C-alpha cells in the first residue's frame, strides 16, 4: 500500500528538477552515497546529501532546512513529519540490528554479553536516545535485559554513557571511523551500535571485536523513507530508486536486511 502511494505520488508530482536533497541517517552514509551516485549518473540529477543522527535531521527539517527525501534509522521520525503534513507516506525500506563492538576480539561472546555489560569494570557506551535512534534501540535492549536478570535495566541505563549521536557529541579525528575511535581511544570498552557500523569499525581497526546480541536481547531497527511535500519529481524518482531492486542490492552489500516484512 505504501509503495503504491509512492507510485501514485510520483505520477502526480510536478515537472522534473535538476537537484534532489537527500537527508539520511549516518549509518546509511556509505550505502546511500553509492545509491545516490548511481541514481545521479543514470538520471542526470544532482543529489545533495546530508547525513547525521535521524532525530537531529528531523529537527533541522522541522526548523525549515531544505530537504526532499528523508531516510531515517527508525519509522518514528519520518512518521512525525508525515503526521504534521510536511511529508508523504512512510515506507519501510531496510533494516538493521544491534551488535556490540568490543575493545578487543574475544573479550566476550553472545552468551556472556549481558554479564559483560553489567560488569562494573566494563565501560558501556551507546548513542544518544531521541537524537539518534541507535540510542533508543540500546535502551530497548536494556528493557529486554530486565526479563533475563532482575535489576538489569536500571543498572544498564545508569551506567551507559551516551557518547555519539547527540548535538554536542565529540567528533572522530579526520579519517577515523567514529565507533572504532570511541572504543580504541578508551572511551568505552563495549559499545552498542548497528551491526553495519560495527563492521565498518572493524575495517578501521581489526583488533576490535564484534559480538552478536543474543536472541533474548535482540532489537530490530526498521528504517523509514519519506518524501517531503512539495518535493520535485526527481526526489520521488530517487525514493523509488532506493526502494528498487538495484537500491536494495546496494544496501544488502553493506549489511542491511531486506525490508519485505516488519521486523519482530
- pLDDT at 146 (0 to 100): 98
Equal CATH topology for 2-95+220-253 and 96-217? yes
DSSP 3-state assignment of 173?
A: coil
110 within 8 A of 262, measured Cβ to Cβ:
no
CATH number for the domain formed by residue range(s) 2-95+220-253: 3.40.190.10
- pLDDT at 9 (0 to 100): 53
In this structure, which topology does domain 96-217 adopt according to CATH?
D-Maltodextrin-Binding Protein; domain 2 (3.40.190)
- Between the alpha carbon of residue 94 and those of residues 179, 204, 220, the distances in Å are 21, 24, 11
- pLDDT at 18 (0 to 100): 81
Closest CA to 131 of 25, 53, 23, 24: 53
Q: And the C-alpha cell for 189?
A: 570498552
Contacts of 166 (CB under 8 A, 6+ apart): 53, 127, 128, 131, 132
**Cβ neighbourhood burial of 49 (10 Å; 0-12, 13-18, 19+):** middle
* pTM (2 d.p.): 0.90
Question: Where exactly are the structural domains of the chain?
Answer: 2-95+220-253, 96-217
- pLDDT at 7 (0 to 100): 54
Do the strands 91-102 and 69-72 form a parallel or antiparallel pair, or are they unpaired?
A: unpaired
Residue 101 to residue 121: CA distance in whole angstroms: 16
- pLDDT at 262 (0 to 100): 44
Residuewise pLDDT in 10s, the chain (264 residues): 555 555 555 454 444 448 999 999 999 999 999 999 999 999 999 999 999 999 999 999 999 999 999 999 999 999 999 999 999 999 999 999 999 999 999 999 999 999 999 999 999 999 999 999 999 999 999 999 999 999 999 999 999 999 999 999 999 999 999 999 999 999 999 999 999 999 999 999 999 999 999 999 999 999 999 999 999 999 999 999 999 999 999 999 999 997 644 444
Amino acid at each position: 500500500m505504501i509503495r503504491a502511494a509512492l507510485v501514485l505520488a510520483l505520477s502526480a508530482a510536478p515537472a522534473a528538477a535538476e537537484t534532489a536533497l537527500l537527508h539520511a541517517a549516518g549509518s546509511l552514509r556509505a550505502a546511500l552515497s553509492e545509491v545516490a551516485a548511481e541514481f545521479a549518473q543514470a538520471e542526470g540529477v544532482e543529489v545533495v546529501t546530508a547525513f547525521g543522527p535521524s532525530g537531529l535531521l528531523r529537527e533541522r527539517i522541522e526548523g525549515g532546512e531544505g530537504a526532499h527525501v528523508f531516510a531515517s534509522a527508525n519509522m518514528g521520525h519520518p512518521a512525525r513529519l508525515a503526521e504534521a503534513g510536511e511529508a508523504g507516506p512512510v515506507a519501510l525500506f531496510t533494516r538493521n540490528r544491534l551488535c556490540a563492538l568490543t575493545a578487543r576480539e574475544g573479550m566476550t561472546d553472545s552468551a556472556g554479553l549481558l554479564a559483560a555489560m553489567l560488569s562494573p569494570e566494563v565501560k558501556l557506551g551507546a548513542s544518544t536516545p531521541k537524537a539518534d535512534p541507535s540510542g533508543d534501540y540500546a535502551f530497548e535492549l536494556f528493557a529486554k535485559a530486565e526479563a533475563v536478570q532482575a535489576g538489569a535495566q536500571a543498572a544498564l541505563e545508569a551506567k551507559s554513557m551516551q557518547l555519539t549521536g547527540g548535538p554536542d557529541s565529540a567528533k572522530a579525528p579526520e579519517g577515523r571511523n567514529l565507533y572504532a575511535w570511541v572504543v580504541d581511544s578508551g572511551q568505552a570498552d563495549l559499545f552498542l551500535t548497528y551491526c553495519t557500523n560495527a563492521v565498518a569499525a572493524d575495517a578501521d581497526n581489526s583488533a576490535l571485536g564484534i559480538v552478536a546480541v543474543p536472541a533474548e536481547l535482540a532489537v530490530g531497527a526498521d528504517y523509514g523513507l519519506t518524501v517531503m511535500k512539495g518535493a520535485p519529481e526527481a526526489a520521488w524518482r530517487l525514493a523509488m530508486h532506493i526502494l528498487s531492486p538495484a537500491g536494495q542490492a546496494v544496501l544488502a552489500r553493506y549489511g542491511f536486511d531486506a525490508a519485505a516484512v516488519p521486523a519482530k
